[in-house]
């Protein structure tokens, strides 16, 4: 008789970067002081429109003491993949410091149409190889009406096992109190609650917009995220 010694959960295990349950638990604790010192869920590398190399992002993340982050390049996961390789190697070289390493989740920023606005939807903790995301991870903007709708982008992210979050909801032509309910109607998981709209230095979430978005998120039962939206060489500011 052949005995199968493989654990029953072997086929359900996912990499840490795709652990959506752990990410949800973190997002339920996010507040105005979480970013940029503890968490940063919106930043870019040279793989889209940022200036930092992925390796430099991770060096900074460890130096700052981040507990968790996601690289959210536009329509690309190359920055994440490079960062994951660097982080895995760092852990091998520093086995005594693994507890100091931040959690790195998969991430991307995808453009979509919502109420005739070109909005950005952040994707987190998804399987980057899932076919539903193939049209959105080609290094260029979304093409085709069927793919471009916010409803489809949200659906595609969730089909790949991820969370969909409306980025900086107060930066669009339509107001947040119109966009967030519509995004919620399409099943979005969260909104970027803590964002620095005036690009202050040091980074600080905008009070008025934060209060509005936080209230809407609570009304529609959405998760809240934070991020610097860094495009420069520092994770602590936007530019």
Is the pLDDT at 5 greater than 60, yes or no? no
Q: Map out the domains of the chain with their CATH numbers.
A: 16-226 (3.20.20.140)
Quick one: pLDDT at residue 144? Answer: 81
Quick one: pLDDT at residue 222? Answer: 98
Which residue is listed with tokens 């410091």?
97
Copy the structure tokens of residue 165: 């979050």
Instruction: Give the mean pLDDT of 155-160.
Output: 98
Is the pLDDT at 7 greater than 70, yes or no? no
For Cα atoms 181, 182, 185, give the angle at the middle one, nearest 5 degrees.
90
- pLDDT tens-digit map of 55-95: 999 999 999 999 999 999 999 999 999 999 999 999 999 99
| Percent of residues, the chain, with pLDDT higher than 90 | 90
Cα–Cα distance measured from residue 219 to residue 215, given in angstroms and rounded to the nearest whole number = 6
Pair 58, 90: CB distance under 8 Å: yes
- pLDDT tens-digit map of 192-222: 999 999 999 999 999 999 999 999 999 999 9
Which residues have CB under 8 Å from 27's CB, separation 6+? Answer: 190, 223, 224, 225
Mean pLDDT, rounded, of the chain: 93
Quick one: pLDDT at residue 29? Answer: 97
- pLDDT tens-digit map of 24-55: 999 999 999 999 999 999 999 999 999 999 99
Instruction: Give the mean pLDDT of 111-140.
Output: 97
Quick one: pLDDT at residue 13? Answer: 55
């Amino acid at each position: 008789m052949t005995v199968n010694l493989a654990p029953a959960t072997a086929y359900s295990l996912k990499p840490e970067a795709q652990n959506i349950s752990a990410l949800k638990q973190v997002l339920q604790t996010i507040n105005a002081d979480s970013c940029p010192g503890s968490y940063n869920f919106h930043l870019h590398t040279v793989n889209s429109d940022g200036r930092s190399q992925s390796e430099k992002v991770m060096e900074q993340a460890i130096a700052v003491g981040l507990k968790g982050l996601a690289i959210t390049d536009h329509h690309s996961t190359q920055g994440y993949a490079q960062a994951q390789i660097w982080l895995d190697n760092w852990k091998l070289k520093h086995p005594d410091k693994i507890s100091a390493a931040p959690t790195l989740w998969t991430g991307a920023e995808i453009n979509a149409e919502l109420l005739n606005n070109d909005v950005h939807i952040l994707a987190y903790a998804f399987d980057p190889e899932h076919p539903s995301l193939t049209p959105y991870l080609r290094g260029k903007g979304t093409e085709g009406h069927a793919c471009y709708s916010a409803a489809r982008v949200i659906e595609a992210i969730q089909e790949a096992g991820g969370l969909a979050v409306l980025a900086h909801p107060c930066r669009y032509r339509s107001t947040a109190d119109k966009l967030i309910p519509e995004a919620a109607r399409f099943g979005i998981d969260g909104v970027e609650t803590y964002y620095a709209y005036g690009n202050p230095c040091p980074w600080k979430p905008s009070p008025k917009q934060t209060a509005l978005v936080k209230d809407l998120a609570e009304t529609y039962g959405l998760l809240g995220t934070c991020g610097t939206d860094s495009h420069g060489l520092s994770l602590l500011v936007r530019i």
